[in-house]
């Protein structure tokens, strides 16, 4: 678990890169999310994250430590595909695109999240008959 002070320190370390990203697409706010088995209610959180959903703005994550995986819906032929992320990776899941996130075998990720507006990343769950969980 990262303390608020440690989170602030990590955000300060990447401040220039974050502001560069923010300027490109108009992100207004950002924070640091840290998930691991030490996170309170991690199982409940993962259950929520593992629902297929969309947002009205893109979901941008810059990974600073650990690993994670996004499962994203491509076009009709591609179906759902996996994007594995590790430290140094930045992903932007486009707005209104079915996706979900989960941890990988190391069960740990730290990532910067950027938002255009606070409500933009509210998850709208999608029941997609095409999606079959492995
Ligand atoms: Fe999402």
- Provide the 10 A C-beta neighbour count for residue 27: 20
Q: What b-and-e string marks burial along 85-118, b requiring 16 or more CB atoms within 10 Å of the CB?
A: beeeeebebeeeebbbbebeeebbbbbbebbbee
- Per-residue confidence band for 36, with pLDDT thresholds at 50, 70 and 90: very high
Which pLDDT score is estimated for 50?
92
- CATH architecture, range 4-118: Sandwich (2.60)
Expressed in angstroms and rounded, the spacing between residue 123 Cα and the centre of ligand 1 is: 6
Expressed in angstroms and rounded, the spacing between residue 55 Cα and the centre of ligand 1 is: 6
Expressed in angstroms and rounded, the spacing between residue 120 Cα and the centre of ligand 1 is: 10
Expressed in angstroms and rounded, the spacing between residue 54 Cα and the centre of ligand 1 is: 6
- Per-residue confidence band for 75, with pLDDT thresholds at 50, 70 and 90: confident
Which pLDDT score is estimated for 69?
98
Tell me the pTM.
0.90
Average pLDDT, the chain: 94
Q: Tell me: pLDDT of 93 over 90.
A: yes
Expressed in angstroms and rounded, the spacing between residue 6 Cα and the centre of ligand 1 is: 25
Distance of alpha carbon 11 from alpha carbon 17, whole angstroms: 10
Q: Tell me: pLDDT of 65 over 80.
A: yes
Expressed in angstroms and rounded, the spacing between residue 125 Cα and the centre of ligand 1 is: 9
- Per-residue confidence band for 121, with pLDDT thresholds at 50, 70 and 90: confident
Q: Tell me: pLDDT of 134 over 60.
A: no
Which pLDDT score is estimated for 118?
80
Q: Tell me: pLDDT of 133 over 80.
A: no
- What mean pLDDT is predicted for residues 39-53? 94
């Amino acid at each position: 678990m990262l303390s608020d002070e440690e989170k602030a320190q990590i955000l300060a370390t990447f401040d220039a890169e974050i502001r560069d990203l923010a300027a490109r697409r108009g992100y207004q706010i950002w924070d640091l999310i840290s998930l691991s088995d030490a996170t309170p209610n991690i199982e409940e959180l993962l259950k929520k994250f593992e629902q297929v959903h969309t947002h009205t703005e893109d979901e941008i994550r810059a990974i600073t430590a650990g690993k994670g995986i996004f499962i994203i819906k491509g076009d009709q032929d591609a179906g759902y595909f996996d994007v594995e992320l590790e430290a140094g990776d930045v992903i932007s899941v486009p707005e209104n695109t079915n996706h979900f996130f989960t941890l990988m075998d190391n069960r740990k990720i730290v990532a910067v999240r950027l938002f255009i507006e606070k409500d933009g990343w509210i998850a709208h769950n999608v029941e997609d008959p095409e999606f079959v969980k492995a």
